[in-house]
Amino acid sequence: MEPIVKTENLTIRFGGHTAVDHVNFEMPEKHFKSIIGPNGAGKTTFFNLISGELKPSEGEVYFKGQPLTKLSSVERTRLGLGRSFQITNVFPNLTVLENVRLAVQSKEKIRYQMLKHFRSYQLITERAHELLELVLLSSKADAFASQLSHGEKRKLEIAMLLALETEVLLLDEPTAGMSLEEVPAILEVIHQIKNRGDRTILLIEHKMDMILDLSDSIMVLFNGKLLADGTPEDIMNNETVQNAYLGGLYDDSLVKS
Ligand SMILES: Nc1ncnc2c1ncn2[C@@H]1O[C@H](COP(=O)(O)OP(=O)(O)OP(=O)(O)O)[C@@H](O)[C@H]1O
């Protein structure tokens, strides 16, 4: 089967520095892949190349076989590649529900224009409630977005990303800046999305236990290069990865059998 996302020799140079260096990668549909690597390895830059925030110096990104380089990030979102930070434009003075409703509306605009005003309003609100339930944020529906904790804001962003109904979700460190107590709730949200089984998810994370818990496969970037790509077990047992990055810092018992 054709991979849903694929890169060929994907490369970007900033001055003399090659931040992403001839990366060839394939993502099967409905797969969960995590990207790991030390700080500065090129993970976020790789995401930016896939989502269209950056244009490559060389190489190509494909979505269902279609080359994407000429498409803007908005056009890529319309095709089915959604990235969480594109919609971090949460309106602080609107409620949580209103924020999600706006995201649903932006996706559903055309479909709902056909319906009568009241009915469309009702359907959009229902969908927004469903999404808040999925990300475990229903209890905050009427709170202003500005009143949310950092972890709750990340949940709201995920709900807004889901509202766009893209087949692929690019999640860049959803737990960054969170308190330890907030992490399990985000993990639960990502599990719920994964368990529905209808999305392809690419995740950047530093938390190894979370990665091992969620991933079908893991790719390792190092100095912009793809060092390894395989099952969690392969990666944890890969000597090059061990030497370059993991350095024996993880617990063997976490490896999925
Ligand atoms: N716009 C830019 N201009 C110049 N250099 C850049 C730019 N964006 C990224 N870089 C450089 O590219 C390299 C890769 O950065 P990137 O942020 O992709 O790494 P990362 O793996 O996501 O790191 P972290 O885990 O710290 O987020 C770094 O050396 C960074 O300084």
Q: Is residue 193 part of a domain?
A: no
Among 10, 45, 175, the mutation site with the greatest number of ligand 1 atoms within 8 A of its Cβ is 45
Question: How far does residue 164's CA lie from ligand 1's centre (Å)?
Answer: 27
Whether residues 64 and 91 share a domain: the answer is no
Residue ranges of the chain whose pLDDT lies below 70: 85-88, 108-119, 246-257
Range of the domain at 44: 1-80+168-176+199-247
Contacts of 185 (CB under 8 A, 6+ apart): 136, 151, 155
Whether residues 15 and 140 share a domain: the answer is no
The number of helices, as runs of H, and strands, as runs of E, in the chain is 9, 10
Residue 168, strand partner residues: 81, 200
- Cβ neighbourhood burial of 201 (10 Å; 0-12, 13-18, 19+): buried
Q: How many domains in the chain?
A: 2
Helix, strand, coil shares, percent, the chain, to 5: 45, 25, 30
Among 10, 20, 43, the mutation site with the greatest number of ligand 1 atoms within 8 A of its Cβ is 43
Q: Is residue 184 part of a domain?
A: no
- CATH code, 63: 3.40.50.300
Whether residues 140 and 128 share a domain: the answer is yes
Question: How far does residue 72's CA lie from ligand 1's centre (Å)?
Answer: 21
* Ligand 1 pocket, residues with Cβ under 6 angstroms: 14, 19, 37, 39-45
> Residue whose CA is closest, atom 4 of ligand 1?
14
Q: Is residue 209 part of a domain?
A: yes
Whether residues 69 and 128 share a domain: the answer is no
